[in-house]
């Protein structure tokens, strides 16, 4: 009985990859554990292993093919003695026979390449295949409401991942005081490939692989910053920064004040924050509200690649400790980024991403994806939503939000974090004071649910906010 | 378990780790071993005079701070360094300009040893605008960029990672400086200390870890808190050499410090010095002192006082007239009194200071 080998998903967020190399050719006998092929994603190169014994009957996707969607049949394995020519794509049992191993296997607490079985692997042969979403979402350039670069600037389509890397590389070229440290930032090229190529360009002195000791290396980074160096400390995820939060809060954020202004701490703590996909409660926490609570810190949570680049450069130059909250789902998304020698954005300025007159939707980071899709859908129903991307959570640009609400009279906030004491709660409180007379409805919050993040696909989906909830909230504040 | 027994247990393990060159580094721990070692390294007259003045300044300053605390002029926590003076002075005598110092919250002595102005330190204790942190830091949080003193940290053990970071910066800049990172016997049990040891040795960072073992972490004796009471051994699994040092004798401290600092400065990585010392006063001003006997304290004061030992040497060995020492005493008292005077008359910070020094302005 012939079986299809499907393109495996190797990480929670992988949607497609490149079939870079076949290590077996048609007609070769294969046994369980044989490496059949190498596939490459934007994060890493991995090997596809056979699970069944048989003969590699047919190769369906030639090597070198890019953009192969997860779950696409890439080859057929026939049983010993089976008529190979009879085997055809789709003719076999559609089950993901391939398992894949990241190479080299990251033996870490959790990793960007955390293996995620192909969607139907665990649920059996008759499980419906998850439709493969378009791998790289290219976001249309929003009509820039505020000019942040000269008109006519050439725009280059760039992923958030590349934008972050470019920002660090540019700042490292600019000053020898800037260095990056963290787990797997150097030789591994970054657990999420954000630091790809930096070791090659800047060497091991400035791209420092640390042991898995968040508390210790965060303290070392802060100590180095006290002397005037400008460390970029990468946390593999902000969940692990919980081990280091004492140094972030007690050592980095408070020392300037405690020293009467003598000892600044020019450091950037960056890494993915919040939920990725199916990684459970301990790897899905959104810390936006936590850090935004602390005087002495600046907190940035960008959505677009352009903001990621311009704000990370600003963060590295800033003389204060900056928390730079990224999002794993956004890493692979592409946006237009202005092609400028030195593109730096101001910290603390929100951006009106979409203009509208009926309601203000305020969000940041990945929350913007829900907000923008909802705004699009609402427009079709005649509700024009103004969508504000906060970009910086501390200092928070209340003015832009208040000005918008004065116009619309209604506000909905969108975030993936928990509801209590969240960013939405803060905005709501500020609007109560600064725009009370302009509000025609209570501010509504769309947030992550008040539960630890569940693992099961359906429960996780329920725990996160979604477009329908944003639409519903907008309609509620519009009394529609 | 009584305190005397604890002390005996802590002292019973006198083996040294990595002390291959420890001829002058005397194993101490028990009161008995604090007796001036016959083969202790000798100081010149000038060195002893310097050590005497420096240690006396700390002693008198701390006594005054204790007084002002009792008068309600110093608030919050106030941890005095009395009894431990030989540690920081011996270390400073072996360091050079540019070397950084960082410690925990028992930090007044370190500031004075670094050459910080007693007026500024005392005014910070009283929360006045002339304090080193303009009254916003307090006893546990003072810094001096100029004197390379990096605090003054209130979270037990945090200064160890930070001090390792200072050494990281030294190595990064290849400036030849060494980070002198102090901690107490209590901090030595914190997890991040070992994370720091690991990275410091891995990257051969120029840091000397000075563990001031004053036998009690607040009220918990070393023997009740530590499975390994020989702190010089705490770096063994990382290959970091360590020594136990008689921290009551400024000469042995300086000698061990010279060796440790040279090791770190020459690119061989970190070094651990366990300074066996003793604090006469409580953990903080609000210490009930129920965990040790009065006899234990008075025995240390009478027989092993670091300042008395130097004073005796100055008179008996160096032939310094007592009148000269009295003049030094008077000068130190005057300095301390001036600092107290300043600290009690300097105004409190301007209310507008509440909102300053939270963030630095980004330069365009």
Residues forming a β-bridge with A387: A354, A361
Which residues in chain B have Cβ-Cβ distances shorter than 8 Å to A314? 362
**pLDDT digits over A328-347, tens only?**
999 999 999 999 999 999 99
Report in angstroms the alpha-carbon separations of A281 from A33, A285, A286, A454: 32, 7, 10, 6
Contacts of A225 in chain B (CB under 8 A): 165
Q: Phi and psi dihedrals of A283, rounded to 5?
A: -120, 15
3-state SS assignment for residue B181: strand
Q: A137 pLDDT exceeds 80?
A: no
Q: What's the pLDDT score for residue B264?
A: 98
| SS3 at position A424 | helix
Mean of the per-residue pLDDT values of chain A? 88
CB contact at 8 A, B235 and B201: yes
Residue with structure tokens 């130190």?
B332
The Cα of B228 is separated from the nearest Cα of chain A by a number of Å equal to: 22
Q: Do A215 and B191 touch (CB under 8 A)?
A: yes
* DSSP structure class, residue A156: E
pLDDT at A138: 56
Q: What is the DSSP string of B113-148?
A: HTT--HHHHHHHHTT-TTSTTTTSS-TT---BTTTT
Q: How many CB atoms lie within 10 A of CB A121?
A: 18
Q: Do A225 and B165 touch (CB under 8 A)?
A: yes
| pLDDT score of A13 more than 90 | no
Token code pair at residue A50: 């056979």
Q: A40 versus A376: which is more confidently predicted?
A: A376
Which residue among B137, B192, B196 sits closest to A260, beta carbon to beta carbon? B137
| Chain B residues whose beta carbon lies within 8 Å of the beta carbon of residue A221 | 165
Q: Nearest by CB to A247, which of B131, B158, B170?
A: B158
Of residues B180 and A38, the one with the higher pLDDT is B180
* Cα of B27 vs its chain's centroid, Å: 19
How many CB atoms sit inside 10 A of residue B38's CB? 6
Burial of B66 (0-12, 13-18, 19+ CB in 10 A): middle
DSSP bridge pairs for A158 = A335
pLDDT for B217 equals 93
**Bridge partners, A323 (sequence order):** A269, A299
Q: Listing from the earlier edge strand, what are the strands of the sheet with A411-414?
A: A351-354, A385-389, A359-363, A411-414, A444-446
Q: Rounded mean pLDDT of A7-15? A: 78
H or E element in which residue B307 lies: helix B306-316
Token couple for B218? 């607040």
Measure the CA–CA gap between A240 and A282, rounded to whole angstroms. 9
Whole-number Å distance between alpha carbons of B197 and A289: 33
What residues contact A452, with CB distance under 8 A and at least 6 apart? A281
Residue B177: its chain A contacts at CB < 8 A?
Answer: none
**What residues have CB less than 8 Å from A437, skipping those under 6 apart?**
none
* Mean predicted confidence (pLDDT) in A367-380: 98
Taking the CA of residue B144 and the nearest CA in chain A, the distance in Å comes to 7
Both structure tokens of A423:
């960013």
Q: Are the CB atoms for A50 and A5 separated by under 8 Å?
A: yes
A348 vs B: CB within 8 A: no
Instruction: Say what the pLDDT of residue A132 is.
Output: 47
* Residue A332 contacts residue A369 (beta carbons within 8 Å): no
Note whether A456 contacts B: Cβ–Cβ < 8 A: no
State the average pLDDT over residues A274-290: 95
**What is the pLDDT at residue B27?**
41
A264: contact with B, CB 8 A cutoff: yes
* A349 in contact with chain B, both atoms CB, cutoff 8 A: no
- Contacts of residue A318 in chain B, CB cutoff 8 Å? 362
pLDDT tens per residue across span A60-86: 999 999 889 988 899 888 887 676 555
Q: Which residue in the block uniquely carries the two structure tokens 């210490």?
A: B287
Report yes or no: A207 at the B interface, CB cutoff 8 Å. Answer: no
Residue A227 has pLDDT above 50, yes or no: yes
Rounded-to-integer distance, Cα A360 and Cα A408, Å:
6
Residue B52, burial from CB neighbour count under 10 angstroms (0-12, 13-18, 19+): buried
Beta carbons of B70 and B340 less than 8 angstroms apart: no
Nearest to B196 by CA among B232, B157, B164: B164
Phi, psi of B109 (to 5 degrees): -60, -40
**Rounded to 5 degrees, what are φ and ψ at A39?**
-120, 155
Handedness of CA B62, B68, B74, B78 (dihedral sign): positive
pLDDT, tens digit (0-9, with 9 covering 90-100), for A393-424: 999 999 999 999 999 999 999 999 999 999 99
Nearest in space to B276 (alpha carbons), one of B260, B256, B302: B256
Structure tokens at A331: 């890493």
Say whether pLDDT at A119 is over 50.
Answer: no
Whether A104 shows a pLDDT value over 50: the answer reads no
Do A393 and A365 meet the contact criterion of CB atoms below 8 Å apart? no
Instruction: For residue B135, count other CB atoms closer than 10 A to its CB.
Output: 22
The residue written with tokens 């990257």 in the block is B203
- 3-class SS letters over B201-218: HHCCCCEEEEEEECCEEC
**Cβ within 8 Å of residue A461, ≥6 positions away:** none
Mean pLDDT to the nearest integer, A298-327: 98
- What is d(CA A200, CA A478) in angstroms, rounded to the nearest whole number? 54
Catalytic residue from among A47, A115, A234, A283:
A283
A283 catalytically annotated: yes
Q: Using an 8 Å Cβ cutoff, are B138 and B359 in contact?
A: no
Residues pairing with A73 in the sheet: A6
Q: Which of B105, B148, B91 is nearest to B264 (CA)?
A: B91
Mean pLDDT to the nearest integer, A101-111: 39
pTM for this predicted structure: 0.84
pLDDT of res. A201: 98
Q: Which two tokens stand for residue B115?
A: 């050459």
Under DSSP, is residue A102 helix (H, G, I), strand (E, B) or coil? Answer: strand
Is residue A312 over pLDDT 70? Answer: yes
Residue A1 has what pLDDT?
67
For residue A251, give the DSSP letter.
I
Distance CA A444, CA B36 (A): 75
Give the CA count within 13 Å in the CB-facing half-sphere of A104. 8
ω into residue A104 within 30 of 0, thus cis? yes
pLDDT in tens, A142-198: 444 456 888 899 999 999 999 999 999 999 999 999 999 999 999 999 999 999 999
Is the pLDDT at A87 greater than 80, yes or no?
no
* pLDDT (tens digit per residue) in A430-474: 999 999 999 999 999 999 999 999 999 999 999 999 999 999 999
A421: Cβ contacts below 8 Å, ≥ 6 apart: A289, A293
CA–CA separation, B12 and B6 (whole Å): 10
Closest CA relative to residue B163, chosen from B174, B147, B176, B152:
B152
In terms of pLDDT, which residue wins out, A72 or A120?
A72
pLDDT, mean of each 10-residue run, chain B (364 residues) = 39 36 38 53 96 98 96 94 97 98 97 98 97 97 97 97 98 98 97 98 98 94 95 98 98 98 98 96 85 91 94 96 97 98 98 96 76
Calculate the CA B328 to chain-centre distance.
22
Instruction: Look at residues B315, B290, B304 and name the one whose alpha carbon lies nearest to residue B83.
Output: B304
What is the reported pLDDT for B364?
57
């Amino acid at each position: 009985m012939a079986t299809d080998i499907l393109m495996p998903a190797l990480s929670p967020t992988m949607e497609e990859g490149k079939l870079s190399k076949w290590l077996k050719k048609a007609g070769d006998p294969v046994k369980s554990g044989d490496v059949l092929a190498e596939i490459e994603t934007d994060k890493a190169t991995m090997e596809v292993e056979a699970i069944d014994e048989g003969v590699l009957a047919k190769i369906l996707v030639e090597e070198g093919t890019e953009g192969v969607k997860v779950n696409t049949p890439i080859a057929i394995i026939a049983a010993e003695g089976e008529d190979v020519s009879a085997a055809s794509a789709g003719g076999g049992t559609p089950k993901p026979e391939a398992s894949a191993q990241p190479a080299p296997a990251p033996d870490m607490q959790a990793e960007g390449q955390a293996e995620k079985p192909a969607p139907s692997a665990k649920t059996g042969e008759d499980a419906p295949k998850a439709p493969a979403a378009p791998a790289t979402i290219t976001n249309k350039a929003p009509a820039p409401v505020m000019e942040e670069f000269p008109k006519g600037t050439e725009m280059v389509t760039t992923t958030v991942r590349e934008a972050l890397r470019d920002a660090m590389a540019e700042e490292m070229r600019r000053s020898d005081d800037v260095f990056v440290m963290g787990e797997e930032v150097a030789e591994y090229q970054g657990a999420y490939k954000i630091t790809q190529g930096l070791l090659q360009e800047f060497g091991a002195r400035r791209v420092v692989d640390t042991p898995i000791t968040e508390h210790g290396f965060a303290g070392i980074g802060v100590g180095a910053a006290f002397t005037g160096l400008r460390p970029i400390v990468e946390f593999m995820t902000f969940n692990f920064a919980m081990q280091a939060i004492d140094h972030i809060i007690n050592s980095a954020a408070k020392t300037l004040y405690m020293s009467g202004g003598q000892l600044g701490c020019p450091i950037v703590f960056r890494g993915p924050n919040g939920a990725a996909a199916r990684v459970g409660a301990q790897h899905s926490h959104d810390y936006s509200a936590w850090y935004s609570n602390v005087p002495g810190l600046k907190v940035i949570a960008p959505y677009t690649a352009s903001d990621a680049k311009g704000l990370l450069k600003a963060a590295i130059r800033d003389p204060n400790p900056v928390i730079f909250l990224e999002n794993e789902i956004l890493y692979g998304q592409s946006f237009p980024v202005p092609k400028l020698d030195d593109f730096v954005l101001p910290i603390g300025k929100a951006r009106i991403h979409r203009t509208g007159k009926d309601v203000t939707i305020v969000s940041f980071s990945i929350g913007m994806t829900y907000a923008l899709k909802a705004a699009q859908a609402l427009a079709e129903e005649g509700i024009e939503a103004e969508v504000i991307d906060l970009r910086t959570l501390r200092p928070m640009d209340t003015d832009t939000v208040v000005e918008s609400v004065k116009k619309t009279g209604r506000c909905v906030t969108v975030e993936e974090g928990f509801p209590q004491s969240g960013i939405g709660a803060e905005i709501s409180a500020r609007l109560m004071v600064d725009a009370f007379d302009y509000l025609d409805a209570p501010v509504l919050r769309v947030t992550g649910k008040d539960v630890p993040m569940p693992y099961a696909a359906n429960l996780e989906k329920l725990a996160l906010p979604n477009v329908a909830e944003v639409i519903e909230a907008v309609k509620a504040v519009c009394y529609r | 378990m009584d305190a005397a027994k604890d002390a005996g247990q802590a002292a019973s393990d006198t083996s040294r780790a990595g002390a291959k060159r420890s001829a002058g580094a005397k194993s101490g721990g028990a009161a008995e071993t604090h007796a001036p070692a016959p083969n202790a390294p000798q100081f010149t007259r000038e060195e002893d005079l310097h050590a005497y003045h420096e240690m006396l300044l700390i002693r008198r300053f701390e006594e005054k701070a204790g007084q002002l605390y009792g008068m309600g002029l110093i608030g919050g926590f106030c941890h005095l360094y009395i009894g431990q003076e030989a540690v920081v002075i011996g270390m400073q005598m072996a360091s050079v300009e540019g070397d950084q110092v960082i410690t925990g919250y028992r930090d007044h002595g370190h500031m004075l040893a670094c050459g910080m102005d007693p007026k500024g330190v005392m005014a910070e204790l009283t929360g006045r605008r002339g304090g080193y942190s303009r009254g916003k830091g307090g006893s546990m949080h003072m810094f001096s960029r100029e004197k390379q003193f990096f605090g003054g940290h209130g979270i037990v053990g945090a200064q160890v990672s930070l001090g390792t970071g200072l050494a990281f910066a030294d190595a990064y800049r290849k400036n030849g400086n060494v980070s002198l990172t102090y901690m107490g016997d209590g901090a030595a049990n914190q997890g991040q200390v070992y994370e720091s040891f690991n990275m410091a040795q891995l990257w051969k960072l120029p840091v000397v870890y000075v563990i001031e073992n004053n036998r009690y972490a607040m009220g918990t004796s070393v023997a009740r808190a530590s499975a390994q009471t020989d702190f010089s051994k705490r770096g063994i699994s990382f290959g970091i050499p360590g020594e136990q040092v008689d921290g009551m004798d400024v000469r042995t401290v300086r000698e061990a410090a010279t060796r440790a600092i040279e090791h770190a400065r020459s690119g061989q990585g970190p070094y651990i010095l366990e300074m066996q010392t003793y604090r006469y006063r409580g953990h903080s001003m609000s210490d009930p002192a129920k965990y040790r006997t009065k006899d234990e304290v008075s025995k240390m004061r009478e027989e092993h006082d670091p300042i008395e030992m130097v004073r005796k040497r100055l008179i008996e060995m160096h032939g310094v007239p007592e009148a000269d020492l009295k003049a030094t005493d008077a000068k130190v008292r005057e300095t301390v009194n001036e600092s107290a005077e300043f600290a009690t008359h300097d105004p409190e910070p301007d209310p507008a200071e509440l909102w300053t020094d939270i963030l630095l302005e980004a330069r365009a």
